[in-house]
Amino acid sequence: MIDERMAEAINEQINAELYSAYIYYAMASWLEDQGLGGMARWMKAQTQEELFHADKFFDYVCERGGRVALAGIEGPPTEWESAAGVFAHAYEHEQYVTGRINDLMSLAIELEDYASVNFLQWFVEEQVEEEDNTSTIAEQVAMVEGTGQMLMLDREMGARVFTPPASGEED
């Protein structure tokens, strides 16, 4: 049975993951409106990834005998000054999520909840990848914004597709 404090903290994380999906969907909408369909597609794939993360947390709470308690999702920002601003915000958001995952890991260690420590390790590794990806793209978009290379980067980013990890890789 999962500790009540751990279940409550993971429920808050489920909300945070759903909010993350909401932010990325808002970013996709803004990018689409700017004629950057490839970057919008990248953000839609990111949205799906965040929903996958929320689902993973949801299933874990249930598997441990806890109850998922969904809360309202705050409305995301909907306007940015530039595509570079969108991706800089995405990077900042991933840093925020990393802090939340680290807090969950600290709680699991404090509670000596080794099942949760093991479960959360996947997210710790995932956040290293998330921060690396978003910081790299934020830098690239900032470098090419306002040039013809922006269209090439947009086209390249449009090739991204979300593929959930195969069974066994996700745990």
Instruction: Domain of residue 151: give its range.
Output: 4-157
Tell me the pLDDT tens digit for each residue of 95-126: 999 999 999 999 999 999 999 999 999 999 99
Give the whole-angstrom CA distance, residue 171 versus residue 168. Answer: 6
Quick check: is 96 in a domain?
Answer: yes
Q: Which of 8-12, 61-65, 153-157, 161-165 has the lowest mean pLDDT?
A: 161-165
pLDDT, mean over the chain: 95
- Specify the pTM: 0.91
Q: What pLDDT is recorded for position 169?
A: 52
Closest CA relative to residue 79, chosen from 71, 92, 69, 89:
89
Q: What pLDDT is recorded for position 167?
A: 63
**What is the tally of structural domains in the chain?**
1
Which 8-state DSSP code applies to residue 125?
A: H
The number of C-alpha atoms within 13 Å of 71 and in the hemisphere containing its C-beta is 13
Tell me the pLDDT tens digit for each residue of 121-137: 999 999 999 999 999 99
Residue 11 has pLDDT above 60, yes or no: yes
Which 8-state DSSP code applies to residue 167?
A: T
**Residue 90's domain is classified under what CATH number?**
1.20.1260.10
Q: What are phi and psi of 167, to 5 degrees?
A: -50, 135
Closest CA relative to residue 140, chosen from 97, 77, 69, 91:
91
Quick check: is 112 in a domain?
Answer: yes
Quick check: is 122 in a domain?
Answer: yes
Which 8-state DSSP code applies to residue 82?
A: S
Q: What are phi and psi of 56, to 5 degrees?
A: -65, -45
**DSSP symbols for 38-84:** HHHHHHHHHHHHHHHHHHHHHHHHHHTT--------PPPP---SSHH
Tell me the pLDDT tens digit for each residue of 46-82: 999 999 999 999 999 999 999 999 999 999 999 999 9
Quick check: is 171 in a domain?
Answer: no
Q: What pLDDT is recorded for position 171?
A: 47
Residue 168 pLDDT level (bands cut at 50, 70, 90): low
Q: What pLDDT is recorded for position 166?
A: 79
